[in-house]
Amino acid sequence: MADGTLALPADDVPSSVHVERPRQREHGDWATNVALQLAKKAGTTPRALAEDLAARLGATPGVKAVDVAGPGFLNITLDAGAAGELARTIVAAGDAYGRSDALAGQVHNLEFISANPTGPLHIGHTRWAALGDALARILRAAGADVTAEYYINDAGAQMDKFGRSVLARARGEEAPEDGYPGEYVIERAQEVLAQHPDLLDLPEEEAVVVAREAGYAAQLAAIRRTLDGFGVHFDTWFSERTLHESGAVDQAVARLREQGHVFDQDGAVWLRTTDFADDKDRVMIRANGEPTYFAADAAYYLSKKDRGFPGKIYLLGADHHGYINRLKAIAACAGDDPETNIEVLIGQLVNIGGERMGKRRGNALYLDDLLEWIGSDALRYSLARFPADTPLSLSGEELLKQSNDNPVFYVQYAHSRTCAVDRNAADRAVARALPDGSDAFDPSLLTHETEAALIGRLTEFPRIVAQAAELREPHRVARYLESLAADYHKWYSECRVTPFPDEDVTDTHRTRLWLNDAVRQVLANGLDLLGVTAPERM
């Protein structure tokens, strides 16, 4: 260019530039390596391009300084007014702050828990309930269209075993040797007898059917009540039975045969999944004509495809690693791309110990027990703050502690403190506007180092949510909230929203009240994504 500055051809100018928060606060508010990426196209060195960009950015209103580091990194520092304006933006956005269209256009079926309706949800299901519901919330916050689905495994021999167990308990007998011995079966039997007082007078086979069907309905209702108490709600409850009763399993075999992946051998019908990295081909129809579970899995996958879900996300337990390749093989056989149309997330085992463990019934720790003992908030937060593939051993007593060592208490207390600050400000007549109603918000007054750190942390929230959605990692939101809480607690100890008794209310106090509001909003938004409440008092 004539003035000596560098330029890029129009076609080489990127539509967007990646910026990120520096790891060290002294390196500014934002950093970018754009000069390293574009220097070759500009016909110069990265350092020279960085210096040219620094000069231009430095003249931009709201930019306090731009430093060039290393071979050509740009560290950008905003002035207090430009950075602090974020507080007003957050307050105005309210519940919408942190939401984006990062995953707009994506349509997913998210299946999780999917426990057999033959017993209560236990501790393993609890982890998937917390993670699955949090993931659904986060995906929606990032703009994706998500249907949360519970697959009811209500077909097969286990249902008959359950029916015989319920009938035995209704008769005052022990459960069959291959049945379900838990005390909950006694409760289901009592419910069935209340609905069918003639149960014990029916012929054996008819009594088994009545006990099975009524017990199934009662157990499924109990599961739904438990999940309601845990704040987990599904858009769809999909019955495995419907696949068999509607002919969907037979249709799935025929469709996959048309695709050229089904073959007959030894009287059975097979799916050639080894063509798609599975360790062995899978039987769909046994030689006796009975469909396998795998056939139902294939029919279920095709049902999701037919119902208009390009993305199919499965959250499976620790003992389901073998399902990954076979499910991906089903996707490939169905004509989908197993790298984009299906995701299988495997969760590791979790153990929660403590004095209440010895009081549990039998050797199972049920979600209802955990809710009574620990509560929904501590459970959901603690299970969501770790990656799904991390084995967990938690202490129930630690989760109940009201101390800074307990992460859920630490974050919730930060929110309740923002509410207390708001109440105290009202008592001292610290308002968000001047007495004449004019705006008292002056972001240039937010100059304390703890305010710069706090504003910088607030800026990160939308990126964290979008990243957690893209990577399917709810724990990123939890860890962010802990960092935000730490920054807030430090700011609270250094900067006053309410003046001392002998001081007048100033615009600094009023502006800090806006910042306090912004922190409260982000904490509430983040906790809601995890299905955790944001208490106003603790």
pLDDT class for 50, splitting at 50, 70, 90?
confident
25 within domain boundaries: yes
In a domain, 357, yes or no: no
Domain C-terminal end among 27, 46, 78: 78
Percent of the chain with pLDDT over 90: 76
Q: Are residues 73 and 173 in the same domain?
A: no
Residue with tokens 């008819």: 206
- Residue 28: band (very low, low, confident or very high) from pLDDT cuts 50, 70, 90: low
Mean pLDDT of the chain, nearest integer = 91
Residue 171 lies in domain: 157-229
Note whether residue 281 is domain-resident. no
**Which pairs with CB-CB distance under 8 Å and at least 24 residues apart come from 216-220?**
216/117, 216/118, 216/154, 216/159, 216/162, 216/163, 218/188, 218/191, 218/192, 219/117, 219/118, 219/119, 219/120, 219/162, 219/184, 219/188, 220/117, 220/152, 220/154
The answer to whether position 323 is within a domain reads no
What is the total count of domains within the chain? Answer: 3
Residues 6+ apart with CB under 8 A from 44: 6
Q: Are 188 and 202 in contact (CB under 8 A)?
A: no
101-155 pLDDT tens trace: 999 999 999 999 999 999 999 988 999 999 999 999 999 999 999 999 999 999 9
Strand 236-239 vs strand 145-152: parallel, antiparallel, or unpaired? parallel
Choose the final residue of a domain: 201, 229, 257: 229
Give a yes or no: residue 505 inside a domain: yes
259: pLDDT strictly greater than 90 = yes
How confident is the model over 59-77, as a mean pLDDT? 73
- Which amino acid is residue 409, in one-letter code? F
Give yes or no for residue 327 having a pLDDT over 90: yes
276 belongs to a structural domain:
no
In this predicted structure, which of 14-28, 252-266, 306-320, 381-395 has the lowest mean pLDDT?
Answer: 14-28
Q: Which residues pair with 392 in a beta bridge?
A: 350
Concatenating the DSSP letter of every residue in 25-37 gives GGG-SEEE-HHHH
Alpha-carbon distance of 368 to 145, in angstroms, equals 30
- Report the pLDDT averaged over residues 335-353: 92
- Which CATH number does the domain housing residue 450 bear? 1.10.730.10
Gap between the Cα atoms of 477 and 464, Å rounded: 6
- Over residues 272-294, the pLDDT tens digits come to 999 998 999 999 999 999 999 99
Q: Is 427 part of any domain?
A: yes
124 within domain boundaries: no
pLDDT at position 32? 86
- Residue 26 phi/psi, 5-degree rounding, is -70, -10
* pLDDT exceeds cutoff 70 at 244: yes
C-alpha torsion 292→298→302→305, nearest 10: 140
Q: How many CB atoms lie within 10 A of CB 436?
A: 6
User: What's the one-letter identity of residue 330?
Assistant: I
